[in-house]
Amino acid sequence: MKNTVLIPTYRRPLDLSRCLLALQAQTKPVDQVIVVVRDTDTQTWEFLAQYSPHNLPLHTVTVSLPGVVAALNAGLAAVEGDIVSITDDDAAPHPDWLEKINTHFICDRRLGGVGGRDWIHQGKQLLDDSRQIVGKLQWFGRVIGNHHLGVGEPREVDILKGVNMSFRQEAIAQLRFDERMRGTGAQVHFEMAFTLALKRAGWKLIYDPQVAVDHYPAQRFDEDQRHNFNEIAFLNLVHNETLVLLENLPPLRRGVFLLWAILVGTRDSLGLVQWFRLLPSQGQLAGKKLWASLRGRWQGWQTHHKFKFNIIRSED
């Protein structure tokens, strides 16, 4: 099997250099590396102009639109391998990453996607907690991630994480990342839309903690600054989550999800119960998060409804 590695990058030349060095050290040599670069990203273009690939089959793709979705879709159009493995510029795959990925795909023809653990480095500290439940969508719409904490044997999951996910090209030949995802950079939950659509098409997804990358979360150059509250980023996150789940849950479960989301929610997408729980410690900030969450739910529903209406109208 031929392997393509796809890396979207933006203004992180030092991180990208570390990622490319890790790909050079793979026990199973990579057959194609696609780096997708924004046309305005002078820092990265300058780095690539003087970069010596050392037999790394490096191919660059230029994209003009902001956001990870446009970058990945542009990269997918250039894929030549049987397997495409996606990682971030601020990650460094372990030496046996591609070897373990290939083994999974060779052993199971029904397998459409493989994901693994991203070991998060926070400064000089390594986040080494552990969780058994990873990448699951509960029946009422709650999403459990934990990809960065997973332990145990390989198992079937519903969702993979963007920093460490690989796909059989045959499975995703007609699939692209959803351009309705909001945001100008990270576009949170883009991978959930992609992997749930793949699973809905009948392909199997597995998570193996041994398929690992080191992840050094780097600065983002958009409204989403990870740990600092930004109303637009918060609203975009909830909009994307709502849209994805409305389009991947059956009708009855959609109603249950919306009710649960408004009444309960999570720390990232507040409902009334979560707002009340956070109110003593966060005060007005909890109220801002609740308001942004409710607006995001409404706007996600509107996007979903508009898309359904357009499909019905086009079929008339």
Please write the tens of the pLDDT for every residue from 20-67: 999 999 999 999 999 999 999 999 999 999 998 888 999 999 999 999
Q: Which residues of the chain have pLDDT under 70?
A: 221-227, 308-316
The span from the CA of 224 to the CA of 184, in Å, is 9
Interhelix angle 231-248/284-315, nearest 10 degrees: 40
The token pair at 1 is: 């099997």
pTM of the model: 0.93
The span from the CA of 292 to the CA of 239, in Å, is 10
The residues that bridge with 9 in the sheet, in sequence order, are 37
- Predicted confidence at residue 314, as pLDDT, reads 41
- For 313, the enclosing helix (H) or strand (E) is helix 284-315
The span from the CA of 4 to the CA of 184, in Å, is 26
- Predicted confidence at residue 55, as pLDDT, reads 83
The span from the CA of 315 to the CA of 265, in Å, is 36
Q: Name residues whose C-beta falls within 8 Å of residue 165's C-beta, 6 or more positions apart in sequence.
A: 85, 86, 113, 114, 115, 191, 195
